[in-house]
Structure 1
Amino acid sequence: MKIIAINGSPRKNGNTAQALEIMAHELEQEGIEVETIQIGHLDIHGCIACGYCSKSEGNTCAFTKDPVNEIAAKMREADGFILASPTYYAGIAGTMKSFLDRVFYTSSGYFRFKVATSLSVVRRAGGVDVVHQLNNYLNLAETLLPPSQYWTVAYGREKGEVLQDGEGIQTLRKNANAMAWLLKVVETGKEKLGLPEAEPRVRTHFIR
């Protein structure tokens, strides 16, 4: 089994990267491969709602000068993924937001019943808002979210400070352990029961 971990921080080896390392270690202890991809330092264009991906082969995005299509393909093939972002004004970091809008618009249909989770890193406040925003993508893609004892937020400003947040680290470890367990449950369930049948999407708006 394999997990793709997306690091939305622009800082190399910063607190977001270290939080992901903690989760990756727990998953690897359970025999699950983790590939971490940092995208927060890249120049990634936001979605322009052109509709190209709904008609293109493989539902690829029209923008090809950044690695979004390549990473989306890896996420489609993986058994699950982790979304991680620092907190910018109680929100997802800008590059991460552009990345997620495009990946999930092109690929949500491929993510159904994958196991996925999120985490945020914050100096003081706003981290819960980021986790909620990240989880909006996961919920709308019909992924399965593993639990933990608290919101998956870790605290720290300077590099390495996140490792001093004992409760935050424990929360991430427990989330990773639950993720490993849920991955195995899903794998067993698919063999015995298959996945629930997908229904055609009904779209309703309220303008008459």
Structure 2
Amino acid sequence: MKVIALNGSPRPSGNTYQALKIVCDELENEKIDTKILQIGKMNVKGCICCGRCNEGYCIHNDDIITSMVNEIYEADGILLASPVYYCGISGSMKCFLDRLFYASHGKMRHKIGASLTVCRRSGGIPTFDQLNNYFFISEMLVVSSYYWNVIHGAKPGEILEDLEGVSILKNLGKNMSWVIKMKEETKNILPSPTAYPRSWMNFIR
């Protein structure tokens, strides 16, 4: 069992990374393997909605991102984290997630997902909502804590002073490990439901 965590901050060791570590440490304590991938500092080209991924590869053909995407598709759980940029997720993270999920073609269905955001003062909830939207449209199983997964801090390490935020993220890690284990234990007892046939409709014809 493995969780891949995506760090949407350009600062590899900043507060977003440390927030991910809080959750990942709890997962590791529960015998769930974790790996943090640094996304925020990458030069990621945005999705151009060309549909070429339907043929099995992205038209941008950047090998590093392709290898990351394949590793994510093989994981049991996905943990997303972004700092708050103008009340939203960081640019590189947005580009990466658009391409990851647009090309997934059902590979994310019923995976376990959780997200968190880091902000100095405000904007955490809208950013949190943006991250979760990727899960909801992909039929993923979203894990929560006992409050929104937002933690506060400016200088690196300041999030550790947000004691409530730390407790929220620790609880998130425990809940996420439980759901992953529950899914693993029941996979031969309760198979995943067959997707209901989808109907398509445009509102303007």
Q: 1:42-53 counterparts in 2 under 5 A?
A: 42-53=42-53
Aligned partners of 1:118, 1:137: CA distance in 2, in Å? 10
Alignment correspondent of 2:129: 132
Aligned partners of 2:18, 2:86: CA distance in 1, in Å? 21
AA at the equivalent of 1:29? N
Alignment correspondent of 2:18: 18
Aligned partners of 1:17, 1:130: CA distance in 2, in Å? 16
Structure with more helix by fraction:
1
AA at the equivalent of 2:17? A
Aligned CA RMSD, in angstroms, stands at 1.1
Q: By how many angstroms is 1:65 displaced?
A: 2.4
Aligned partners of 1:76, 1:203: CA distance in 2, in Å? 26
Size of the aligned set, in residue pairs, is: 205
CA displacement 1:62-113 (0-9 Å, x = unmatched): 2122522211111110001101000000000001000000000001510111
Aligned partners of 1:44, 1:67: CA distance in 2, in Å? 10
Aligned partners of 2:146, 2:195: CA distance in 1, in Å? 31
Aligned partners of 1:173, 1:80: CA distance in 2, in Å? 16
Alignment correspondent of 2:147: 150
Q: 1:36-75 counterparts in 2 under 5 A?
A: 36-54=36-54, 56-57=55-56, 60-65=57-62, 67-75=64-72
TM-score, normalisation: structure 2: 0.97
Aligned partners of 1:108, 1:126: CA distance in 2, in Å? 31
CA displacement 1:14-43 (0-9 Å, x = unmatched): 000000000010000000000100110010
TM-score, normalisation: structure 1: 0.96
- Of 170, 173, 178, 1:176 maps to 173
More displaced stretch, 170-179 vs 197-206: 197-206
Alignment correspondent of 2:29: 29
Provide runs of 4+ in structure 1 moved above 4 Å: none
Q: Does 2:110 align with 1:113?
A: yes
Q: Equivalent residue of 2:84, what SS? A: strand
Q: Does 2:203 align with 1:206?
A: yes
CA displacement 1:156-195 (0-9 Å, x = unmatched): 0110001110000100111110000000111122121111
Q: Equivalent residue of 1:67, what SS? A: helix
Distance 1:108 1:140, change over 3 A: farther
Instruction: Provide structure 2 residue ranges, at least 5 long, that are not aligned to the other structure.
Output: none
Distance 1:108 1:87, change over 3 A: farther
Aligned partners of 2:198, 2:65: CA distance in 1, in Å? 25
